[in-house]
Amino acid sequence: MRIGIGADHNAFGMKEALRQYIKDSGNEVVDFGCFSEDEVDYPDIAFQVGTAIQTGVVERGILVCGTGIGMSIAANKVPGIRSAQCHDVYSAERAQLSNDAQIITLGAKVIGLELAKKIVDAYLDVTFAGGQSKRKIDQISNQEKAYLGSVKG
């Protein structure tokens, strides 16, 4: 699987460790930054990963910031993207299995690296189940399209 990864300066170290972990697990990783501990704005990175999913450059994304909150909010602004903040294994599994989330976000100041690895594994090891969940995802997608169609630029 081709995974996009990105972080802000608060989570640079965790991103680097997860990038290598995901690669060592047999996945291809596209790194969208940041590339040092120099301060960066997380929305730019979240938008890049969301757009890469939207255009088929990557299949899924992992975003990390201090809390995971900002990255998730920003990623969810990219049309068609469903991002879920995850700080436990069950939520990560359900993010994909029930919600077809293309991106999960993690908080480097909230969880440790070993838990982050388990969360990433849980997310990447499952695929969207469809079923009754598909109806709900379709409702969300249809509302998004209706809203975007009503917005005048």
Stated pTM of the model: 0.94
Annotated active-site residue 65? The verdict is yes
| Whether 39 contacts 9, CB under 8 Å | yes
Give pLDDT, residue 26: 97
Q: How far apart are CA 55 and CA 97, in angstroms?
A: 22
Q: 33 vs 8, 103, 142, 148, CA distance in Å?
A: 7, 16, 32, 29
| One-letter identity of residue 7 | A
CATH class for the domain made up of 2-151: alpha beta
Question: For the chain, what is the largest distance between any 2 Cα atoms, rounded to a whole number of angstroms?
Answer: 46
Give pLDDT, residue 50: 98
| Whether 5 contacts 32, CB under 8 Å | yes
Q: How far apart are CA 49 and CA 90, in angstroms?
A: 23
Series of mean pLDDT values for 10-residue runs along the chain (153 residues): 98 98 98 97 98 98 98 97 98 96 98 98 95 92 90 64
Give pLDDT, residue 152: 64
Domain boundaries, the chain: 2-151
Give pLDDT, residue 129: 87
Q: How far is CA 30 from the centre of its chain?
A: 13
100: region left, alpha or beta (phi > 0 left; psi from -120 to 50 alpha): left
Task: State the catalytic residue, choosing from 29, 40, 65, 119.
Answer: 65
